[in-house]
Structure 1
Amino acid sequence: MALVRKLARPLLASVFVVGGIDAIRHPAGKAPSAEKVTGRLVSQLPGVTSTEQLVRLDGVAKVVGGIALGTGTFPRLASLVLVGSMVPTTVAGHAFWDEQDPSKRAAQRLQFIKNGAILGGLLLAAVDTEGKPSIGWRARRTARELRRSAKSAGAAIGETTHSFGLSAQQLGQTAQQLGQSAQQLGQSAQQRLPI
């Protein structure tokens, strides 16, 4: 499986690196379709003044996320970054429902579906733990072990308390016997000593 990851990640990442570089170098070609999705967003983001700038930022996210995924550096996080970048890009760039020309509509629908397939690959990469247990599994296991430990500790405390109770009872009986012996010793001493 490690070999598959070493091949699949760079293959999946390559489309983002190439597309991201193109978005950074030529944002004007993508800005009109991006405007449909990002219209209000540009005015709400600090430091972003135009849709072209937002397209460039998206390109940077794609390049950085693609390189991280391709090299296996934080691949799960990189996959999520790319998912976040891909959804609005797909909706803006491949809105086949807006096309009137049947051949253009078919081409855009195919690109939309292709992006959906790539999105599926990214989601698989985002949940791939490389054979290691997931955080959820580790948390459930730890909780189960803590419950067992608490149960064992509770039983041990119960046994200790019971033993302590028995010891206290035995100590009380010993003290009572000592008291009786001391009383007998005192009576014996009183009989032998002339007072």
Structure 2
Amino acid sequence: MSVVRRVARPLLALTFIDGGWDAFRHPSAKAERAAPLIDKLAPALGVPNDPEMLVRANGLTMMGAGVLFALGRAPRTSATVMAVSLIPTTLAGHPFWEADDPAQRRQQRLHFLKNLGLLGGLLIASVDTAGKPGMSWRAQRAAKDASRTARQAKRDARHVAQTARREAKLARAQLVDALPIG
């Protein structure tokens, strides 16, 4: 792993570890802000309409994925999980469009945009293969290799068949020459 990844991953994960821990330990204030969004989404998603429980679950998710990401364990998966958990957190926690006070609106918009920046970084991290080929490239490469092998096997089989026909023709000719004509 490069030095940049060793430093950047924990730095990016710290926000999620700290925020997740705080959401797990003190969910009431966050649950109050998340309640309107949860009321709209819970029935559609088939989850219980319990804001405190969902805030705690989101906090644990953020914290767990953050720790895994910081340690470099399953970094693409953990980055994706953090990105997915950031979306409802941002929508429920920083609805700047609902603020009446200009200063409050500015502050909420700043946090909203900061979270969008974090989301962008997580999206990049979720596709970062650290210089190693990804699964889709490997699958495409395997398919190309299999196709090449099949074409070569077909050419080899055609060559063997032609050689066998030639050998059979020669053997027949030798047999005919060896027969006594009488």
Q: State TM-score, norm by structure 2.
A: 0.92
8 Å CA contact 1:42, 1:51 repeated in 2? no
State the distance in 1 between where 2:84 and 2:36 align: 17
Q: CA deviation at 1:127?
A: 0.9
For 2:137 and 2:118, locate their aligned partners in 1 and report how far apart those are by CA, in whole Å: 27
Shift of 1:42: 4.0
Cα RMSD between the aligned structures? 1.6
- Larger displacement relative to structure 2 (98-107 or 149-158): 149-158
Partner of 2:125: 125
2:38 aligned counterpart, secondary structure: helix
Aligned to 1:193: none
Q: In structure 2, what is the equivalent of residue 97 of structure 1?
A: 97
Q: How does 1:59-138 map to 2 (within 5 A)?
A: 59-138=59-138
Q: For the Cα contact (< 8 Å) 2:39–2:49, is it kept in 1?
A: no
Q: Secondary structure at the match of 2:168?
A: helix
Structure 1 CA distance, aligned partners of 2:168 and 2:34? 81
What TM-score do the two structures reach when normalised by structure 1?
0.86
Per the TM alignment, residue 99 of structure 1 is displaced from its structure 2 partner at its CA by 1.0
CA distance in 1, matches of 2:35, 2:152: 63
1:135-172 Cα offsets, whole Å, 9 max, x none, are 22222222222222222111111111111111121222
Aligned equivalent of 2:155: 155
Amino acid in structure 1 at the alignment position of 2:124: L
The 8 Å contact of residues 83 and 119 in structure 1, kept in 2 or not, is answered as: yes
Alignment-derived partner of residue 31 in structure 1: 31
Stretches of structure 2 lacking an aligned partner (at least 5 in a row): none
The whole-number CA distance in structure 2 between the counterparts of 1:129 and 1:7 is 16
Query: C-alpha separation between the residues in 2 aligned to 1:115 and 1:41?
Result: 21
Opposite residue 10 of structure 1, the aligned amino acid is P
Q: Aligned pair count?
A: 180
Give yes or no for contact 1:42–1:54 (8 Å, CA) kept in 2. no
